[in-house]
Amino acid sequence: MEQTQGKVAVVTGAGSGMGLGMARAFASAGMKLVLADVDVDALDRVVTELRDGGAEAVGLRADVSQLDQVEALGRAATENFGALHVAANNAGIGIPTSTAKMKLDDWRWIIDVDLWGVIYGVHVFLPLIEESGEEGHITATSSMAGLIAAGVMGAYNVAKHGVVAMMATLERDLRARHSNVHASVLCPGPINTDIGRNSAQLRPRAQGQPPRDPATRGAETGKVAASIEAALASGMDPDEVGRLVLDSIRKDRFWILTHPHWTRALQKQLDAMNDDGRLTRA
């Protein structure tokens, strides 16, 4: 999809982090934007920033775990700009918790947002993109956790593996029927975002409560949470991720990897299948 000027894009989770990076990159490429987030204040700031920079953008509060709210994003694209060409299903959450101790409500919440949010996005946005009759692209944000199942991230790993499987299947299906749309999956490593803090605040049973101190989460979980937060703090700039996604859309690349050297850990897990059969530490 080489031509981006004047094309219409939807970005979920656009209020901060990688979604904001994508919104900025798409705006710089001349796209018209429908931006979504559950944080209305953050979303309003982003829309104002991009409009002040000359972009055409509208913002809509949307919880991607709710089909009707994702459908509203599709309508916003066609009603405001007449079509849809690009969809970035990016919104996501994650709470480090021991798999054995994770509450069923947390399993449902994480999978509803991280996996069902993408399922709903493909269900709603793909037909609209194909109806444009022009080249289009649909991408989804997974993670290296969608390729390597690290400890204490059970629900997140399950959801992100599902996103990789879904988008890989979708791309093959699109090619088989000669669609005008390509698919891709973003598998980022450490990115300097506030996903940990935002997830803790959005967690349904933590609404209105101050974020928990990592030290109170149990020894194993607290250690992993602190490690993740430290890695994110020194991670890649989200704006760089946005530019990488834009470049991949233009070149119709399926795999979007921010830290390609991390695939060595994946290779170790594959090698274990033909070795002693034991999982190695990622």
Convert the pLDDT of each residue in 126-182 to its tens digit.
999 999 999 999 999 999 999 998 888 899 999 999 999 999 999 999 999 999 999
Look at residue 279 and tell me if it is in a domain. Answer: no
Q: What's the CA angle centered on 82, arms 77 and 83, to 5 degrees?
A: 65
Q: Is residue 282 part of a domain?
A: no
Strand partners, 36: 12, 60
Residue 278 lies in a domain: no
- The pLDDT of residue 105 is above 60: yes
Helix (H) or strand (E) holding 12: strand 8-12
Domain presence at residue 126: yes
Cα angle value 217/94/137 (rounded, 5°): 170
Sequence-distant (6+) residues with CB within 8 A of 33 are: 8, 9, 10, 11, 14, 23, 26, 27, 50, 55, 56, 57, 58
- For residue 121, pLDDT over 60 is answered with yes
Instruction: Give domain status of residue 151, yes or no.
Output: yes
Kindly state the percentage of the chain with pLDDT values over 70. 84
Amino acid present at 235? G
Give domain status of residue 102, yes or no.
yes
For residue range 232-252, list pLDDT tens digits in order. Answer: 666 799 999 999 999 999 999
Return the CA Rg of the chain.
18
Give CA torsion, residues 27, 142, 190, 213, to 10 deg. Answer: 110
CATH of residue 244's domain is 3.40.50.720
For residue 264, the model assigns a pLDDT of 84
pLDDT in tens, 52-87: 999 999 999 999 999 999 999 999 999 999 999 999
Q: What is the extent of the structural domain holding 27?
A: 8-273
Task: Please indicate, yes or no, if residue 1 is contained in any of the structural domains.
Answer: no
Task: Sort strands 255-257 and 136-141 into parallel, antiparallel or unpaired.
Answer: unpaired
Closest of 115, 195, 206, 185 to residue 157, by C-alpha: 115
Q: How many separate domains does the chain show? A: 1
- Total number of residues shown for the chain: 282
DSSP 276: T
Q: Is 156 a catalytic residue?
A: yes
Asked if residue 2 belongs to a domain, the reply is no
Among residues 112, 152, 156, 242, the one annotated as catalytic is 156
Given this model, what pLDDT does residue 209 score? 44
What ranges in the chain are assigned the alpha helix state H?
17-28, 40-52, 67-81, 104-111, 117-131, 154-176, 195-202, 219-233, 238-251, 263-273
